[in-house]
Amino acid sequence: MVKTFEDAIKELKEIIEKLESGNLPLEDSIKLFQEGTELISFSHKKLNEIRKKVEIVAEDKDGEITFEEFEPEK
């Protein structure tokens, strides 16, 4: 099981290389494609989690820099 975003990207790159080689039987290619789509979904979820933690730097009307928690749209 993939634990980090970086692990998912690494595995996804490996899958892409295998698929691009063209040397796999169709069933293996389909299995790798499915694994790749799961990795993409996992990566997207991780990125959304990170985005929620991002602070937005904003300048108020007095020119002061303030930090606000990022509130994603629901």
Show me where the domains of the chain are located. Answer: 5-69
| pTM as predicted | 0.68
Mean pLDDT of the chain: 84
Give the pLDDT score at 17: 96
DSSP, residue by residue, the chain: ---SHHHHHHHHHHHHHHHHH--S-HHHHHHHHHHHHHHHHHHHHHHHHHHHHPEEEEE-TTS-EEEEE-----
Give the pLDDT score at 30: 96
Which of 3-17, 19-33, 51-65 is the least confident region? 51-65
Which of 6-10, 16-20, 24-28, 58-62 is the least confident region? 58-62
pLDDT tens digit sequence for 29-45: 999 999 999 999 999 99
